[in-house]
Amino acid sequence: MRIIMLGAPGAGKGTQAKMIASEYQIPHISTGDIFRSNIKNGTELGKKAKEYMDQGLLVPDSLTCDLVVDRIAQDDAKNGYVLDGFPRTIPQAEALTEALKARGEAIDYAIDIEVPDENIVTRMSGRRACLGCGATYHIKYNPPKAENVCDACGKELVLRDDDKPETVQKRLDVYHEQTQPLISYYTEAGVLKELDGTQDIDVIFGQIKELLK
Ligand code: ADP
Ligand code: AMP
């Protein structure tokens, strides 16, 4: 099962992708997590990606596409994966389609989680992320058991730099301009599934399980 998650920043892609990965035993591949881990480890890629991420801009396709194409060719992705945060531009989607086509494969589902812009700023300002294991929480909608401590690994939770309100608006503009066209792209490919992302996390996950049946 090859799945991609679409939706604005903060729509709940990562939250649902982690649940899908665990339910169907497939890897969760998040380009945002890969970039953040490179930043944490001080790699060249991390240094370059940070310049764009801090401004709410997309990391250039030239630094992103090969990384994902290599990752999905790894052994653990043989039976499928859930891609979270990729593709984010039409050229990325085309690169993915081509790479898959070369292996006689295709995306099975593009799950689009729809959340109006008005709700996004609240979502993002309440998001808390674990820099240790990548888990995400929301102070109100999905709180950790102990304040600011990751349930999964015990590390401290932080507000991501790019979740500050001034950067969120820029990320939303970039989403509408560069990523939203992917909804038509995957509709034309016949794999788009749209869900109402303003519902409870578990309700949305129930709907995802139904459509993946
Ligand atoms: P994305 O990966 O699309 O950027 P996340 O999955 O990190 O978004 O979700 C953004 C924030 O919203 C997180 O704090 C998360 O806990 C919270 N969240 C996710 N889904 C829902 C939902 N259905 N209702 C309320 N809050 C949610
Ligand atoms: P995310 O964790 O998915 O919200 O991504 C955080 C940031 O990483 C984005 O705002 C971009 O700057 C960068 N990023 C993640 N995935 C991509 C991608 N597919 N293309 C370009 N930039 C990306």
Q: Is 71 a catalytic residue?
A: no
Specify whether 88 is catalytic: yes
| Single-letter amino acid code for the residue at 169 | Q
**CATH architecture assigned to 2-116+174-211:** 3-Layer(aba) Sandwich (3.40)
For the chain, 213 residues long, give each residue's pLDDT as a single digit of tens: 999 999 999 999 999 999 999 999 999 999 999 999 999 999 999 999 999 999 999 999 999 999 999 999 999 999 999 999 999 999 999 999 999 999 999 999 999 999 999 999 889 999 999 988 889 999 999 999 999 999 999 999 999 889 988 899 999 999 999 999 999 999 999 999 999 999 999 999 999 999 999
Bridge partners of 149, per DSSP, are 156
Write down the domain spans for the chain: 2-116+174-211
The closest residue, in CA terms, to atom 19 on ligand 2 is 86
Residue 186 CA to ligand 2 center (angstroms) comes to 19
